[in-house]
Amino acid sequence: MSTVSLEEFLKPISQALGRTEPPASIEPCEATKAPLPGDYRDYSTEELAQWFTEEATKMGTMRTAFLRPMPSERAPAIANNVK
């Protein structure tokens, strides 16, 4: 197995992208604006389940299995499926 420097590894990728020099600045991408795990430490399971339900419903990805339980039972159902 050969070892290459970071520059050697990135050179063909940069050339394929038409770049010959590093950019002067880099704009943050959407992933860097996403909430981090530490952002959720102050919330209860019920609050996180409610947030998850609202966001998933907005995106149209809420599974029927999560909608069946009563609100008080929804948090454990979501927590069990996310683990």
Predicted local distance difference test score (pLDDT) of residue 72: 64
Give the distance, in angstroms, between the CA of residue 19 and the centroid of all CA atoms in the same chain.
28
Which H helix or E strand runs over 31? helix 30-33
pLDDT for 73: 67
2: amino acid identity, one letter: S
Residue 61: both structure tokens together: 């990805």
* pLDDT the model gives residue 82: 64
| Predicted pLDDT of residue 56 | 77
Higher pLDDT, 18 or 60: 18
pLDDT tens string 43-64: 888 888 888 878 877 877 766 5
| pLDDT tens digits, 25-49 | 878 766 666 677 777 888 888 888 8
